[in-house]
Amino acid sequence: MSGLKRVGLTIDGLKVQAAEGTSILKAAEQAGVVIPHFCYHPALEIEGNCRMCVVEIEGLPKLEPSCSALVREGLVVRTSTERVREARKDVLAFLLAEHPLDCPICDKAGECRLQDYYDRHGLTASRMVEPRERREKKLAIGRGLILDRERCVLCTRCVRFLRQMPGTGELGVFERGLRSEVGIFEDAPVDNGYSGNLVDICPVGAITAEDFRFKTRAWFLARKPSVCPHCGRGCAVTVESVSGYPLAKGERRVYRITARENPAVNGFWICDLGRDGRRDIDEGRHARLMKAGVPVAGLSWQTALADVAAAIRTVPGPERSAGIAVVLNGRLTCEELALAKRLFVAGLGLSKVYFADRKPGSADGLLLTAERLPNGRGVLEAGFAPRLPALDEIAAADVLLVFGPYLSEHLAEEALAKAWAGIPSKFLFSAHEGPLDRLADIVFPVAVPAEKSGTYINVDGTRQTFAQAVKPAAGVAAESAILAGLANLLALDAGGGDAR
Amino acid sequence: MSYAPSPAALEKIEGTIALYPEKPAALLPVLHIIQGESGFISAAAEAWAAAKLGLRPVRVREVLSFYTMFRRAPAGRTTLQVCRNLSCALAGADDILGLIREKLGIGPGETTSDGAVTLVTAECLGHCDHAPCLQVDGVDHGPVTRETVAALIEELKAHV
């Protein structure tokens, strides 16, 4: 942007500077003047079909769509004159003439542009006396997406997104005029790894996700920023949850994960794998401490940690290096990795520190990386040389500490069980249930990334610090607390000062 | 369901594609050739045309469904086109459509059960000065009245 010439213009009396080639809508937005729009999206090709963003430009006889009109030196733009307000009212009247007004049962209600704009710019009574057109209201278009043609305002954001971003172009606008409708060709549904973004970008409730339909209302959700932990990209996400966990059976805590804008990493989009990460937060979780495979009520992780410290103490100093094995993972934050390094390598002098993570998948050339862990670079930066342990390397240990359930993805369950049986003390720190649970003496329930604060370094070396997005259940602790607690029990320096 | 044009139509299609610098530009004439041969354009034919022109089938469907003169289902032996654009609508096109439904039992887009007549509506046939107007297999009639349309239908019933 810096190489481009900047031009000066006036928007609503404000003197504004913008780079040449910027649209009036964008320049206004940069100056804090919000112009309502449906079809415009900063990442998509301009189409100018909704006419909601029209503004008055001095010297031009007609109102101009500000999404496609570019800034020019000396332009005088007005965004809220009587004429503009009337034009917006008319646009809304036309859109609402055919709108079903089923907001009470619409999942978009509360975060719908049509609703918001009607409230701010419309507030006119309907002049329609004719019955409204009836159209398809629950057309499955693939990937758990449901299309409601009565609610559609034909902004074509979905059509443009599919052609531009994943490049699959499954949707089109068929017929014309009053009969125009969005649809798929015959039995070729929307089928790509970025389909969930359609729900995010639909300005109305025309495309909704089966996973979210009729489950809750938008205004009940607390929206907190986090970083997606499902691959090495580290996309910016919003975790949308309700408080009051643990919940009664059948209820949810995290209702959905949506894309958050971050130009440095993921732009406006996230993949379906990351969006589906809501299950990772709520499903298959350990909520209570388990001893010998049985949940123990009333036992706190702080108390149980004393057993771990005691087991570590049974190994005499000189034998620790060979006698104690630790398996870490790339889901740990940089802060936790620094703690682990201080505790296990510097403090206890261990040499058997291994890593086990999710198996790599295939990269899609867009956002999803082959690596399926969020902090691979952080592991390297902390000074570890990550390596999966061989079965006999674990079997030879007297004390085994395993963080994460991922060992079972790499080693056969039967062989693991055999190897673990010979280890006098073994402890598992895991957020999710897995085959390792029954093998460990104690299973500590730990937090998932959305429940933690910390820093991840993505595949491109971008360092991202995030805060806690949802509160963990009462008995669940972050690894940082566990590592610090263990260091405390062993009277070792956890380096609280620099590891936070 | 699959589609393949006859060797003659294929030759015509390939000749048409060669006329344009970009293959997709030949979409409309190619669709006309397919409809000219088959009488309509099936979903399989849409997919075939898309592959031939390097387009997505969705794009072909967009174009095909935009234009009222393309047919997506087999038509009757005679096609009746009734204009319902402004001049004709004001002059009573709806009334004419109602009369046709009464006499033939079909609405716009439908074909009589004996496969004789297909009724479609058109957006302006270019005969606003003869509103309300209609076409029978491309031949203009207008201005029509309930009486002339009734006579026309009797004639169709007798000959088709």
Mutate to test the interface with A, among B41, B42, B65 (most CBs of A within 10 A): B65
Mutate to test the interface with B, among A160, A182, A185 (most CBs of B within 10 A): A185
Domain with CATH 3.40.50.740 in chain A: 290-489
Q: What are phi and psi of A399, to 5 degrees?
A: -130, 135
Helix (H) / strand (E) element for B67: namely none
> Closest chain A residue to B47 measured between Cα atoms?
A185
The alpha carbon of B87 is separated from its chain's Cα centroid by a whole number of angstroms, namely: 21
**3-state secondary structure (DSSP) of residue B154:** helix
Reported CATH class of domain A220-282: mainly beta
Q: Would the CB atoms of A172 and B61 count as touching at under 8 Å?
A: yes
Please state, in angstroms and rounded to a whole number, the distance separating the CA atoms of residues A251 and A270. 25
Domain with CATH 3.10.20.740 in chain A: 6-80
Q: Render pLDDT for A220-274 as a digit per residue (tens, 0 to 9).
A: 899 999 999 999 999 999 999 987 655 566 578 899 999 999 999 999 999 999 9
Counting residues of chain A whose pLDDT is more than 90, the rounded percentage is: 86
Q: Would the CB atoms of B58 and A185 count as touching at under 8 Å?
A: yes
Q: Would the CB atoms of A174 and B43 count as touching at under 8 Å?
A: no
Segment A136-165 shows an average pLDDT of 97
Task: List chain B residues with CB under 8 Å of A171.
Answer: 58
Q: Does the structure show a pLDDT above 50 at A496?
A: no
Task: List chain A residues with CB under 8 Å of B46.
Answer: 185
Task: List chain B residues with CB under 8 Å of A173.
Answer: 62
Q: Would the CB atoms of B57 and A173 count as touching at under 8 Å?
A: no
Please state, in angstroms and rounded to a whole number, the distance separating the CA atoms of residues B134 and B120. 10
Whether the CB-CB separation of A327 and A403 falls below 8 Å is answered with: yes
CA distance to partner chain B, nearest, from residue A191 (Å) = 14
- The mean pLDDT value of chain A amounts to 93
The dotted CATH code for A6-80 is 3.10.20.740
Q: What angle do CA A225, A226, A230 make, to 5 degrees?
A: 145
Segment A10-29 shows an average pLDDT of 96
Q: Which two tokens stand for residue A237?
A: 């996400």
Domain with CATH 2.20.25 in chain A: 220-282
Please state, in angstroms and rounded to a whole number, the distance separating the CA atoms of residues A384 and A355. 9
Domain with CATH 3.30.70.20 in chain A: 95-209
The dotted CATH code for A290-489 is 3.40.50.740
- pLDDT for the residue numbered A1: 47
Q: Render pLDDT for B70-108 as a digit per residue (tens, 0 to 9).
A: 989 888 899 999 999 999 999 999 999 999 999 999 999
Residues recorded for chain A:
500
- pLDDT for the residue numbered A20: 94
- pLDDT for the residue numbered A426: 96
Nearest to B58 among A172, A175, A176 (CB): A172
Q: Would the CB atoms of B57 and A188 count as touching at under 8 Å?
A: yes
Task: List chain A residues with CB under 8 Å of B47.
Answer: 185-186
- pLDDT for the residue numbered A477: 94
ipTM: 0.84
Q: Render pLDDT for B31-52 as a digit per residue (tens, 0 to 9).
A: 999 999 998 999 999 999 999 9
Segment A301-307 shows an average pLDDT of 93
Q: Which CATH number fits domain A95-209: 3.30.70.20, 3.40.718.10, 3.40.190.80, 3.60.20.10?
A: 3.30.70.20
Environment class of residue A394 by beta-carbon count within 10 Å: exposed (0-12), middle (13-18) or buried (19+)? buried
Q: Does the structure show a pLDDT above 80 at A386?
A: yes
Please state, in angstroms and rounded to a whole number, the distance separating the CA atoms of residues A157 and A180. 15
Residues 6 or more apart whose Cβ sits within 8 Å of residue A416: A391, A407, A408, A435, A436, A439
CB atoms within 10 A of CB B15: 12
